Amino acid sequence: MAGARKFEDLIAWQLASEFEHWAYRVSASGPMLLDAGFRHQWRDAAASAPRNLAEGFVKYRPREFARFVNIAKGSLGELQNHMLQGRKHGYFTEPEYTIGWRLLCRTVKATNRLHAYLRSCGPEPPGT
């Protein structure tokens, strides 16, 4: 985090953005197209994680940033649920599922680490 000058430098954001692109690709064709509600929720959750990481980063203060990272973590949990449900409904091929699940787990791990770092920063001085 100390070396991040822009949100694109964050590993958590990079992974979340990569997952978002993957999620849009796998939902652009195949059985998921027939379930508009699932597809909309899937894409919204996939876009939410990088969006909240970016928004939190520009807030600059660790506590406020941590709040946005926590929201991103919630979206990642939602995506894990969507992946499990989508697998049951046959929305992913087995190779697609494996690739997506691994990428999502890496994203969750990086986001958890970022959140832990931000919470360790301590209170901010008054008036900052």
What HEC string does 64-108 produce?
HHHHHHHHHHHHHHHHHHHHHHHHHCCCCCHHHHHHHHHHHHHHH
Which amino acid would we find at residue 31?
P
pTM (2 d.p.): 0.91
88 within a domain of the structure (yes/no): yes
22 within a domain of the structure (yes/no): yes
127 within a domain of the structure (yes/no): no
pLDDT level of residue 80 (50, 70, 90 thresholds)? very high
* CATH code of the domain containing 25: 1.20.1440.60
54 within a domain of the structure (yes/no): yes
pLDDT beyond 90 at 60: no
2 within a domain of the structure (yes/no): no
CB count within 10 Å of CB 4 equals 14
How does 31-58 read in b/e, with b if 16+ C-beta sit within 10 Å?
ebeeeeebbebbbebbbbbbbbbbebbe
87 within a domain of the structure (yes/no): yes
Dihedral Cα 100, 105, 107, 109, nearest 10 deg: -170
Structural domain of residue 41, as residue ranges?
7-120
pLDDT level of residue 59 (50, 70, 90 thresholds)? confident
pLDDT digits (tens, 9 = 90+) for 107-122: 999 999 999 999 998 7
Q: What share of the chain is helix, strand, coil (3-state, %, to 5)?
A: 80, 0, 20
Average of per-residue pLDDT values in the chain: 93
Q: With CA atoms as reference, report the closest residue to 105 among 77, 74, 68.
A: 77
Report how many domains make up the chain: 1
